[in-house]
């Protein structure tokens, strides 16, 4: 299983982008990243934007980012299992201490995405709660 992290990214005051939630999923030595418009919540579909891959260090990084890019705070961290990975559709099972989610990400050609969060239960992993 790979790792994942969800970070709250507080942007600097004059940034061109609003504060957002970064969903980061480990894949082949780096992190595949989507900036989500709102807090991931069970049963919700959230709009997001695919960002460039990030280095694995972001699994641990918290606090101010270099270059005046704002600050990040870890909201959730755990294990992820890729169930499907194609050019425009990703399905992943996320397991954290307080949730187990099935996440389906559908991307358009312009890197915009819809991210659907559903409770996942396979009998042994996590709980079905809405999050932390």
pLDDT digits (tens, 9 = 90+) for 77-100: 999 999 999 989 999 999 999 899
Residue 53 has pLDDT above 80, yes or no: yes
Mean pLDDT in the chain?
91
Contact call for residues 9 and 72 (beta carbons, < 8 A) = yes
> What's the helix, strand, coil split of the chain in %, to 5?
5, 60, 35
Dihedral angle at the C-alpha atoms of 4, 37, 20, 43, nearest 10 degrees? -40
Q: Where are the domains of the chain?
A: 2-119
Q: What's the predicted TM-score (pTM) here? A: 0.89
Place of tokens 């954290």: 96
**Residue given tokens 């709102």 in the structure block:** 38
Task: Please compute the mean of the pLDDT values over residues 1-30 and round it to a whole number.
Answer: 95
Q: How many residues does the chain have?
A: 132
């Amino acid at each position: 299983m790979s790792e994942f992290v969800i970070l709250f990214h507080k942007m600097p005051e004059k940034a061109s982008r609003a504060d957002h939630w970064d969903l980061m999923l480990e894949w082949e030595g780096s992190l595949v990243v989507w900036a989500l418009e709102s807090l991931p919540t069970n049963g919700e579909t959230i709009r997001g934007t695919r960002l460039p891959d990030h280095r694995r260090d972001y699994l641990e990084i918290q606090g101010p980012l270099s270059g005046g890019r704002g600050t990040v705070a870890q909201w959730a961290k755990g294990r992820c299992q890729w169930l499907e990975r194609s050019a425009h559709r990703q399905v992943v099972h996320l397991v954290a201490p307080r949730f187990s989610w099935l996440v389906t990400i559908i991307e358009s050609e312009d890197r915009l995405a819809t991210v659907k969060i559903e409770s996942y239960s396979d009998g042994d992993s996590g709980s079905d709660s809405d999050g932390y």
